């Protein structure tokens, strides 16, 4: 596990989660949903979803440009 990763709390056998734990799980879910949607949009550009067939030197430039476009769109 990475030291910055967050894992939702699991319900104990025969027990229930507290209100605070449920709220924390909801926050983690919302953040994860946002990140997964951004990754899906990034994959629409096919730069990471398919085999990259262009020059390796330009991969980072193109990926950075796509990320910049996505960041611009998300700030609106």
Q: What is the pTM of this model?
A: 0.63
pLDDT grade for 76, boundaries at 50, 70 and 90: low
Distance of alpha carbon 31 from alpha carbon 5, whole angstroms: 12
Q: Which residues contact residue 62 at a Cβ distance below 8 angstroms, ignoring those fewer than 6 apart?
A: 47, 54
- Find the Cα–Cα–Cα–Cα dihedral 10, 11, 12, 13, rounded to 10°: -120
- Residue spans of the domains in the chain: they are 19-75
Burial label, 28 (beta-carbon count in 10 A; 0-12, 13-18, 19+): middle
> In this predicted model, what pLDDT tens digit does every residue of 12-67 receive, in sequence order?
899 999 999 999 999 999 999 988 988 888 888 777 777 777 777 788 788 888 88
Asked if the model's pLDDT at residue 1 lies above 80, the reply is no
Whether 4 shows a pLDDT value over 70: the answer reads yes
């Amino acid at each position: 596990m990475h030291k910055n990763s967050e894992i939702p709390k699991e319900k104990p056998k025969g027990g229930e989660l507290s209100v605070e734990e449920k709220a924390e799980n909801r926050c983690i879910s919302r953040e994860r949903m946002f990140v997964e949607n951004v990754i899906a949009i990034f994959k629409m550009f096919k730069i990471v979803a398919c085999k990259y067939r262009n020059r390796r030197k330009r991969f980072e430039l193109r990926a950075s440009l796509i990320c910049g476009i996505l960041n611009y769109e998300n700030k609106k």
